[in-house]
Chain A
Amino acid sequence: MAESTMKAPKRRIGPVRWARENLFSSWHNTILTLLVGYLIVTSVGPLLNWVLLDANFQGSDASDCTGAGACWLFINQRLNFFIYGFYPEELQWRVDIMFGLLALSFAPQFIERFPGRKWLGLFGLTGLPIVGYFLVPGGVFGLEEVQSSKWGGLMLTLILAYIGIIASLPIGTLLALGRRSEMPIIRGLCVVFIEVWRAVPLITVLFMASVMLPLFLPEGMNFEKLARALIGITLWQSAYMAEVIRGGLQAIPRGQYEAASALGLGYWKKMGLIILPQALKLVIPGIVNTFISLFKDTTLVLIIGLFDILGTVQSTVTDPAWQNVAVEGYVFVAFCFWVFCFGISRYSQNLERKLDTGHRT
């Protein structure tokens, strides 16, 4: 590492040599290269035509879609519905504030030197849901009430995913700790909870939450459908999260527990200061994987009659006023999901790099 020592020789390869080594190294490799090249050339052109060159962006209804390409204008026309569902237009500023706060809390997390980055993130995890709890449904502080049955679109998707994600992480952590507890009753309860919820498909959970739960609850005590779905999703997700985190806990060497104990740290300090920071860091890929899959699974609320982004697009696609826009609609939904999931994934890689402190014990 000293400055005076020899530098490692640099390997420089020209494009021709690279191609020869990687693309044409043998006869079957050459055939594959040519085949894939042909497929790319023949498919990219038409795709580009459909998406951009021949696509229709201007206009107000289906009759304006005259070009051969995609009919994107229907998304322009119905964008408000896709984002807010049936949320009254004059009250949509309330949702816009939430979108703004969400962006303000998390976008700076990508910029290392942003001032107060940590506090914004902390607000996003704690303050934001509280603000949203009052602002979105209204009915307090002189805000006009908006029934949750009117919520929909991207807004609903984000609410479901966001609450599911930030509630399942702490609950999952407690379940994971409980499953490794030395107290048999606590351990037993956690094992039962995890194994029951994890073995049930989300669709079933949602059905139970929306159809069966009201039958069991006493007369007069009833949550809204959205709240029931949220509780179901959170508990289901917590069981998954618990198992991911348990994997991390098991990977921490026993010496870490012993060193913490020997220093006089009690159970919660030992876990909170020594074990969990290391364990959670270790399972970031698994946690993010679970987050992303939850984000996409929220589309299943469609079957209990909640209109998330996929639901709103689908109802438009089947609208007789708009014909033959199904492909455009689904591409749009896929793109929206991809943007959010890719964002989550990039952030987690960022986090992993930042938290890497070299060798583990």
Chain B
Amino acid sequence: MGKPMTEQTQTPETQSSPSSDVGKSDIIRVEGMHKWYGDFHVLQDLNLTVRHGERIVICGPSGSGKSTFIRCINRLEEHQQGKIIVDDVELTDDVRQIDSVRREVGMVFQHFNLFPHLTVLENCCLSPIWVRKTPRKEAEATAMEYLERVKIPDQANKFPGQLSGGQQQRVAIARALCMKPKIMLFDEPTSALDPEMIKEVLDVMIELAGSGMTMLCVTHEMGFAKTVADRVIFMDGGEIVEEAPPHDFFTNPQEPRTQKFLKQILQH
């Protein structure tokens, strides 16, 4: 994470990453994963491998299970069958393993979910101090660094309720980054924002992508997918329907369901 910001439109091939394990191993492996809500089969036989530093955009119509899928990766949702291995740790019922995965996986939610009783700075420092046992001074310095990166260091001592939606979401991104995660999950990060605030959040995400972070994004921002993603995954009815690099995905979709979806969202 300490690397200098690089060009945002970089592809992983051209990226000169000092991290030695890039390309060597996979950071996320999902194998034959199924999930049910009661009798409802929400996720059906999902398989996905994500390499270090890869940026993946997941899209699909609402109710296709994309949010549920991404929430399985840090076990906010439980899967019933198949395997999910994150950073060499398999997600099972073992609470210790779940916690160790969650320490390495940051998450940004649609509704920000900042802690309203804590200031912005306290929001950012909480987990480093209590989970990573970082000394307070150090945690605050790191937090300020990330708040600067998301361009709101001047709001550090305000409460979340005093910020705009876009600012809150940027704080949420900074809060997740303060744990120095290896993977960032974004669950529709711009869906609850007013149009004029979407760009400020996307800019932060694009910058983050440029720094070599492994990212999984559920989003409807197709422009973001085109600029940043290494792969776009299309889900429908709880299945992965199509998986392709963004250029192929948008210009030459193979599956009829994908074609229909793209036609609907790109009409305007």
The residues of A with any CB-CB pair to B shorter than 8 Å are 253, 255-256, 258-266, 269, 273-274, 277-278, 281, 355, 357-361
Contacts and interface: CB of A to CB of B under 8 A. Distances in A.
A259 B115 contact: yes
B164 to A, nearest CB: 12
Interface stretch (B27-35, B80-88, B106-114, B238-246): B106-114
A361 B76 contact: no
Contacts of B109: 255, 258-259, 262
B113 A357 contact: no
B99 A264 contact: yes
Contacts of A361: 111-114, 116, 160
A256 B113 contact: yes
A264 B102 contact: yes
In the complex, the 7 A-B pairs of residues with the closest C-beta atoms, listed nearest first: A358-B161, A359-B161, A259-B113, A263-B127, A255-B113, A262-B107, A264-B102
B201 interface: no
Contacts of B74: 261-262
Interface in B90-112: 95, 99, 102-103, 105-107, 109, 111-112
B103 A357 contact: no
A264 B99 CA distance: 5
Interface of B: 74, 76, 95, 99, 102-103, 105-107, 109, 111-117, 126-127, 130-131, 159-162, 175-176, 179
Given A357-B117, A360-B161, A361-B113, 11 more contacts: A255-B113, A258-B109, A258-B113, A262-B76, A263-B126, A263-B175, A264-B99, A266-B95, A273-B130, A277-B117, A361-B114
A11 to B, nearest CB: 29
B143 to A, nearest CB: 13
Nearest to A254: B113
B130 to A, nearest CB: 5
B102 A273 contact: no
Contacts of B116: 278, 357-361
B111 A255 contact: yes
A357 B159 CA distance: 7
Given A263-B179, A264-B179, A360-B161, A269 B113 contact: no
B87 to A, nearest CB: 13
A287 B109 CA distance: 32
29 contacts: A253-B111, A255-B113, A256-B113, A258-B109, A259-B113, A261-B102, A262-B106, A262-B107, A262-B109, A263-B126, A263-B127, A263-B176, A263-B179, A264-B99, A264-B102, A265-B127, A265-B130, A269-B131, A273-B130, A277-B117, A278-B117, A357-B161, A358-B116, A358-B159, A360-B161, A361-B112, A361-B113, A361-B116, A361-B160
A277 B95 CA distance: 24
A29 to B, nearest CB: 41
B83 to A, nearest CB: 21
Nearest to B114: A361
Contacts of B126: 263, 265, 273
Given A264-B127, A357-B159, A259 B114 contact: yes
Contact of B162 (A256, A262, A358, A360): A358
A266 to B, nearest CB: 6
Nearest to B77: A258
B127 A258 contact: no
Nearest to B101: A264
Contacts of B102: 261-264
B131 A261 contact: no
A274 B131 contact: no
